[in-house]
A and B are shown apart, each in its own frame.
Chain A
């Protein structure tokens, strides 16, 4: 039988089965690369909006994809974003615990809150706007903040949000309504700090 139990052992034999397997492996690796390229920014932004500093979000996003690869056969075609979102929530929860421990141990943490008042008004940039969004999101209950991010930033439909969060459609819709209302209240409170007065980013 030309086929060997271990691929490396049959390098000198022509084995159509092995060639097919290799092409399957290449295809699989290609799919994994595309998975990262397609969804990395989505996951990274989610982690950022959950309040993590950029470098922590980098690491956590990597963890999300590593964990997803371990069980990549569970990712169904078309379901990738929902699956990754679920993994991201778990990774975020672990990272929060880790950061809380670090905080207790007195280790300095990267600054997450930008003091907008201390910045000149014309220094409008994406970072500043994001810091303001994060500040406003922090004032919302976590489950509302998450649906708002998925709807307003990631532009998911209510049905997609319901699927990602694992909640009924009606619950997703009502959470989104409450989240928008609360966010609006917060926005009114800080409208004098609008960094876009002199132009859009």
Chain B
């Protein structure tokens, strides 16, 4: 051990710093919080597993319920070439750049082919009203718990497969989700377009709430544009 008083001073300072402890019950509190957080994580994971299983079962039930009728099976047996490949080929044939799958089914119907039922895969054919309602409910519940991004993803999925039964409701929901995610100007634009397309619909009334009111001093750019000859 050195006799230098500065060495001793330094040692004593570091020793004291080594002995410092929190005076509160922070350690026990942290231990409890950490275990509680771990349990919460586990429970969340369990619910997620359960949710996925239920969703899987529901999809299976939907597939079975919307399965091909005996007559359709017979029709498909008689005309085996009218199958899934026709649905995939339809967009190219109709010359559309980015059609929805539902539209492609409609396009093939227009061509006079045998209607293809949703028995192959529910996402390929146009959805039923109930299915669409369920999809929108799912998106709405995500929005209600603050998952606007997830709600928007679900709405994108809806747009891909929907038969358009609830497209107005879906648009209103998208406006709400965009607004909730902070993309207010996009929400306002979409709301404006929505209102313009059907100004008298009750949903348009709700969409108006997302269009910013023009300041009384400054006429809106829209109003100014309308005044232009």
Q: Contact residues of A with B, CB < 8 Å? A: 5-8, 25, 28-29, 32-33, 35-37, 40-41, 44-45, 48-49, 54-55, 57-58, 61-62, 65-66, 69-70, 72, 126-127, 129-130, 132-133, 136, 152-155, 183-184, 187-188, 191, 194, 196, 200-201
B17:A45 contact, CB within 8 angstroms: yes
Kindly specify which of B4-12, B117-125, B129-137, B199-207 makes contact with the partner chain. Answer: B4-12
Whether B38 contacts A129 by the Cβ 8 Å rule is no
Closest to B39 in A: A29
Instruction: Check B35 for interface membership: any CB of A closer than 8 A.
Output: yes
Q: Which residues of B are interface residues toward A (Cβ below 8 A)?
A: 5-6, 8-10, 12-24, 26-27, 29-31, 33-35, 37-39, 41-42, 46-47, 49-50, 53
Q: Is the CB of A70 within 8 A of B42?
A: no
Contacts of A54 in B (CB 8 A): 22-24
Q: A40-B26, A58-B22, A130-B17 are in contact. Are A66 and B31 (CB under 8 A)?
A: no
Docked complex Cα distance between A25 and B40 (Å) = 12
Our pick among B14, B15, B46 for the contact of A7 (Cβ within 8 Å) is B46
- On chain A, the residues within 8 Å of B47 by CB distance are 6
Having A32-B35, A62-B29, A70-B41, one finds 7 other A-B pairs with CB under 8 Å, namely: A40-B27, A66-B34, A126-B19, A153-B14, A153-B18, A196-B8, A200-B12
Closest-CB distance, B53 to chain A (whole angstroms): 5
CA distance A66 to B49 in the complex (A): 23
**Most B CB atoms within 10 A — which of A29, A57, A154?**
A29
B25 to A, closest residue via Cβ = A58
Question: In the complex, which residues of chain A have a beta carbon less than 8 angstroms from the beta carbon of B10?
Answer: 183-184, 187
Contact B12 A129, beta carbon cutoff 8 Å? yes
Min CB distance B200 to A, Å, is 48
A62 touches B14 (CB 8 A): no
A40-B26, A40-B27, A72-B38 known; A130+B16 contact, CB < 8 A: yes
In the assembly, what is the distance between CA of A76 and CA of B165, in Å? Answer: 53
